[in-house]
Amino acid sequence: MNKAPKLRIICPTPGSRHIAEKLVASGQFDLELWQRPKTIAQGVRTGLSAGQPILAVCAIGILIRVLHGQDLGAKKHGLSIIAATEDGKILIPLLGGHAGTNRLAKHLARILGGTAILTTASDQTFALALDECPKGWHLEVQPRVFSKFMQTLLEEREADLSQAPDWVQSSAIPHRSGARLKISWQLGRPYADELPSSTRDHLVYLPERRITIGLGCARNCPSGYVTDLLHKAEQRLGIRFSHPAFASLDIKETEPAFAEIAPKMRFFSSTELQDIPVPNPSAVVQDEVGTPSVAEASALALAGEGATLVLEKIKNHKATLAVALAKNPLPEQETAWPGRPRAVLKIVGLGPGSPDLMAERALRALEEAQVWVGYGPYLDQARSMGAHGDPQLLAFALGGEEARCCAALDAAAKGQQVALICSGDPQVYAMAQVVYELVARHPGRLEWQGVHVETLPGITAMHALAAKVGAPLGHDFCAISLSDLNTPWEAIERKVQAAAYADFVIGFYNPRSQKRDWQLPRALEILRAHRPADCPVVFGRNVSRPDEAITVTHLSAFDPCAIDMFTCLIIGASFTRRYKETVYTPRGYQLS
Ligand code: SAH
């Protein structure tokens, strides 16, 4: 993702530092301070060449001298310089006014309690900057085309505003129907055109967050039917949708096609939809789902009061679609949109411990979640691994896995974004299977059936340990948990026997605790009967955590007392090799 460049503040005098302090305190900027009085020129030049916007608290004369002879290369490089007086009361954009510097200067002035003095002509003549749209509008235009339009507007002092956005119509620009210059708005970019729609005679604005699309579909409808309708809708309206907001009926929350096409879809109940007046109500739909309209009604419900349906229901064999236009833009934050988000439960693997061994996707899921559920120390670990946000925490004690998973499903069923946190990988002796099993066992719990469950993988302890010593898992391997809390010991022993006989490398989890101290010696007894005395054994306590301890030894020297519940253990196959402190299991290549 592209980050906005840091605002460079040149504060050469002690009297000007309060400006930087105020801006820092506002928390709205990523700032870089340049305080060296003797090198203002250097500060400006390096900032410009790095494409940074610059706020220079110094005389305009100094800046003019610094800029003299510089290749400013017109405005296309996005140069942005604002001069400010030492008291921060006056800010004057010098370069890049129409490319965002005016807007930045006004914003800074608001924070500093000062005034931005704009010298660009449109601001003077029409008390309006046509390239600074109010929230909810977007002008897609090349800077040169915009300058040309403005030049003509300043000469002709009139434009046809009959189809202009209301904030342009109420400006000081004189309106005349049929004038050469035209300002209008349209739903989206023209369907067949790749270029911005504005020209030197015609400025076109696009509304943001105003188009809502209502979708309906048959159960398990392939996503192609929905994309087909989206293309048809674009053709009918003659535009391309850009980030439209999607809505549907809540019983459609788990439709895979919707999750794929509209991950941020909003959902409404049939009660919320049934009374919305629509042009194409259907008695069949009413009988099936309790509301006479899904696509049209949900598009209108999401668009809110005063919305208009701009495309009535269209359909193919398996899906329906309708498009509405909201009167006002939807809030920037999706959480404030009407309806509810899809109930989502992400089962997140933290990896073995070190933050850089956690998948980026897992970190994102933690940050997006409104609720974290898990064993208390895992929640602390998730926080210490750099996941920000302010989630509600549902911390559980050790054990009680089922209660943890029920709590996570219940929270998700309320429409919350939930992360159920596991160490390592969520499928390896952890929570994922419990969640899937609970959902499968309770088909009657409709609220759980509607939850979209997703597993986010993590690096499991066995892999993290193996990587520390080389490649002990280089050929066939298996994992066995020695915990007989939920599995009868006979079943575990059978697997150890079979793995020993089949000559798998074995990773042992939950190898030994204070109460369960005889299981590991028994497993070793079985293995010693099948493997040589010098068979490599590797164990790691708290792998990838600050107090990590890794040991490489062999079967006859291995003492199970060195093992506890924070340890993962790998026992090599009969042909696993040790070389110095590394261990590898050959895969049978005939290496020379
Ligand atoms: N889901 C976890 C495993 C949970 S079972 C994973 O995929 O790693 C708990 C067992 O995992 C512990 O008894 C221990 O055997 C092992 N374990 C988990 N994290 C570990 C680590 N950082 N170092 C060593 N062993 C670990």
Whether ligand 1 lies within 6 angstroms of the CB of 424 is answered as: yes
Ligand 1 center to residue 397 CA distance, Å?
Answer: 17
> What pLDDT digit, counting tens, does each position of 228-287 carry?
999 999 999 988 887 899 999 988 987 889 988 988 899 999 999 999 999 999 999 999
**Residue identifier of the C-alpha nearest atom 4 of ligand 1:** 429
Query: What six digits make up the tokens of 192?
Result: 């067949």
Residue with tokens 């392939």: 222
pLDDT of residue 381: 92
Q: Are 121 and 99 in contact (CB under 8 A)?
A: no
Whether ligand 1 lies within 6 angstroms of the CB of 459 is answered as: no
Whether ligand 1 lies within 6 angstroms of the CB of 233 is answered as: no
Alpha helices in 442-591 (DSSP H): 446-449, 461-469, 489-502, 519-528
Whether ligand 1 lies within 6 angstroms of the CB of 540 is answered as: yes
Mutate to test the pocket of ligand 1, among 423, 515, 547 (most ligand atoms within 8 A of CB): 423
Ligand 1 center to residue 513 CA distance, Å?
Answer: 13
Ligand 1 center to residue 440 CA distance, Å?
Answer: 27
Q: Are 16 and 57 in contact (CB under 8 A)?
A: yes
Whether ligand 1 lies within 6 angstroms of the CB of 510 is answered as: yes
Q: Are 446 and 254 in contact (CB under 8 A)?
A: no
Burial class of residue 30 in the structure, from the number of CB atoms within 10 Å of its CB (0-12 exposed, 13-18 middle, 19+ buried): exposed
Mutate to test the pocket of ligand 1, among 566, 570, 571 (most ligand atoms within 8 A of CB): 566
C-alpha closest to that of 532 among 576, 478, 570: 576
Mutate to test the pocket of ligand 1, among 482, 509, 544, 567 (most ligand atoms within 8 A of CB): 509
Region of 458 (left: φ > 0; alpha: ψ -120 to 50; beta: rest) is beta
**Residue identifier of the C-alpha nearest atom 12 of ligand 1:** 510
Ligand 1 center to residue 425 CA distance, Å?
Answer: 9
pLDDT of residue 316: 97
C-alpha closest to that of 519 among 566, 549, 527: 527
Ligand 1 center to residue 460 CA distance, Å?
Answer: 7
pLDDT of residue 78: 66
pLDDT of residue 195: 62
C-alpha closest to that of 15 among 90, 91, 115, 88: 88
Mutate to test the pocket of ligand 1, among 375, 429, 482, 571 (most ligand atoms within 8 A of CB): 429
The three-class DSSP label of residue 378 is: helix
Q: In what order do the strands lie in the sheet with 54-56?
A: 31-34, 7-10, 54-56, 81-84, 90-95, 115-116
Ligand 1 center to residue 478 CA distance, Å?
Answer: 15
Residue 183 to residue 169: CA distance in whole angstroms: 9
Ligand 1 center to residue 33 CA distance, Å?
Answer: 46
Ligand 1 center to residue 509 CA distance, Å?
Answer: 6
Q: If you write DSSP's letter for every residue of 216-263 in order, what string do you get?
A: EE-TT--HHHHHHHHHHHHHHHTEE--S-EEEEEGGGTT-HHHHHH-T
Q: How many CB atoms lie within 10 A of CB 592?
A: 3
Which residues of the chain fall short of a pLDDT of 50? 1-3, 74-76
C-alpha closest to that of 573 among 480, 467, 501, 465: 501
Q: If you write DSSP's letter for every residue of 126-175 in order, what string do you get?
A: HS--TTSPPTTEEE---HHHHHHHHHHHHHH--BB-TTS-HHHHTSSSPB
Q: Which stretches does DSSP call E strand in 385-451?
A: 392-396, 417-422
Ligand 1 center to residue 542 CA distance, Å?
Answer: 8
pLDDT of residue 76: 45
Residue 271 to residue 340: CA distance in whole angstroms: 14
> What pLDDT digit, counting tens, does each position of 113-165 carry?
888 888 877 776 777 778 878 888 888 888 788 888 988 998 888 999 999 99
pLDDT of residue 2: 40
pLDDT of residue 162: 94
Report the relative pairing of strands 182-185 and 202-207 from DSSP bridges.
Answer: parallel
Ligand 1 center to residue 430 CA distance, Å?
Answer: 9
Whether ligand 1 lies within 6 angstroms of the CB of 543 is answered as: yes
Whether ligand 1 lies within 6 angstroms of the CB of 567 is answered as: yes
Residue 438 to residue 183: CA distance in whole angstroms: 58
